[in-house]
Amino acid sequence: MTAIDQHEQPRAADTDYVTLFPVLWQKAYVVAYRVLGSRAGAEDVAQETMARAYSWWSRIAKSPQGWVAKVAYGLAIDTVRRQKTAREALVETAEVDERDPRIEDRMDLMAAIERLPRRQRQVVVLRYLADQSEIDTANALGLRVTTVRRHATRGLASLGGHLVRDLQEG
């Protein structure tokens, strides 16, 4: 067997990745779309997430959905931050782009999610942005289902408080 032949034959782990790719890509896309509200942006985030998933596959293969959702969320938040910076620069030059009037609402929500304690943020992202069940969220985070419920309840209550304060201050 030549070196070229070795590269053409997929490893078992690669086969698992290829098999799960459509489901994982969809999960990354949904999370990113809910954060960004943009199909193109969500596709970019999903592709980057899947590239990272492949490079980490040996470590995440047992429970990749939670990892993919967390990474997609992080990349989408980074994109929002870059967009916010670009938007602020446009405002300074009086060339405001009015493509999506809901962008401010999304940015407020993402800022509120970022202010949550780490575990509440993880649970809220996996449960409500990635649409994972309580059981899947518990498995992904290594928690009991009752703990996931508690963090979800507290996180949502805290989010409501953050958003109400933001509206009152704004």
Residue 169's pLDDT is 57
Residue 92's pLDDT is 53
Residue 160's pLDDT is 84
- Distances 39 to 28, 46, 141 between C-alpha atoms, Å: 12, 10, 28
Residue 94's pLDDT is 46
6-17 burial: b if 16+ Cβ within 10 Å, else e: eeeeeeeeeeeb
pLDDT < 70 regions, the chain: 1-13, 84-102, 162-170
Backbone phi and psi for residue 49, each to the nearest 5 degrees, phi listed first: -60, -45
| Global pTM value | 0.70
**Could you give all domains of the chain from N- to C-terminal order, each with its CATH number?**
13-169 (1.20.140)
Residue 14's pLDDT is 73
C-beta separation of 140 from 67 below 8 A = yes
